[in-house]
Amino acid sequence: GENVEQHPSTLSVQEGDSAVIKCTYSDSASNYFPWYKQELGKGPQLIIDIRSNVGEKKDQRIAVTLNKTAKHFSLHITETQPEDSAVYFCAASKGGFKTIFGAGTRLFVKA
């Protein structure tokens, strides 16, 4: 069936370093790829998304890249700060009401 694999499951970086989280998806019809940040005790919050007609999108310290041929997409966080510590989820959707989520990456940013 359709699935989204996310790696790594845990990531620890020093404050100021970059963090990269990678996802691969199985359904080539997927055309929308959102990323979520979930802080402790809160619901997921959409932080950035990309559609299949775009290869890269950037929003301040966060960027997402998409390689449709290889069916993978990545989240890049530069100049990490302690408040970036959270669980990050990737997801893939082909429209309609079906979104497949990755299992999540727990990011620790050490001060």
Could you give the dihedral angle defined by the CA atoms of residues 78, 84, 90 and 96, in that order, rounded to the nearest 10 degrees? -110
Q: What is the nearest approach in angstroms of another protein to the Cβ of residue 2? A: 10
Stretch that binds another protein, among 10-18, 66-74, 77-85, 89-97 (CB under 8 A): 89-97
Q: Is 29 in the site for another protein (CB under 8 A)?
A: no
Stretch that binds another protein, among 14-22, 56-64, 67-75, 98-106 (CB under 8 A): 98-106
Look at residues 36, 46, 50, 47 and name the one whose alpha carbon lies nearest to residue 87. Answer: 36
Q: For residues 37 and 49, is the Cβ–Cβ distance under 8 A?
A: no
3-state SS assignment for residue 83: helix
DSSP 66: E
3-state SS assignment for residue 32: strand
The only residue of 50, 91, 107, 109 in contact with another protein, by rule CB under 8 A: 91
The only residue of 46, 59, 61, 82 in contact with another protein, by rule CB under 8 A: 46
- Strand 19-25 to 4-7 pairing: antiparallel
Q: What is the nearest approach in angstroms of another protein to the Cβ of residue 1? A: 9
Q: Is 36 in the site for another protein (CB under 8 A)?
A: yes
Binding site for another protein (CB under 8 A): 4, 6, 9, 34, 36, 41-46, 89, 91, 93, 97-99, 101-104
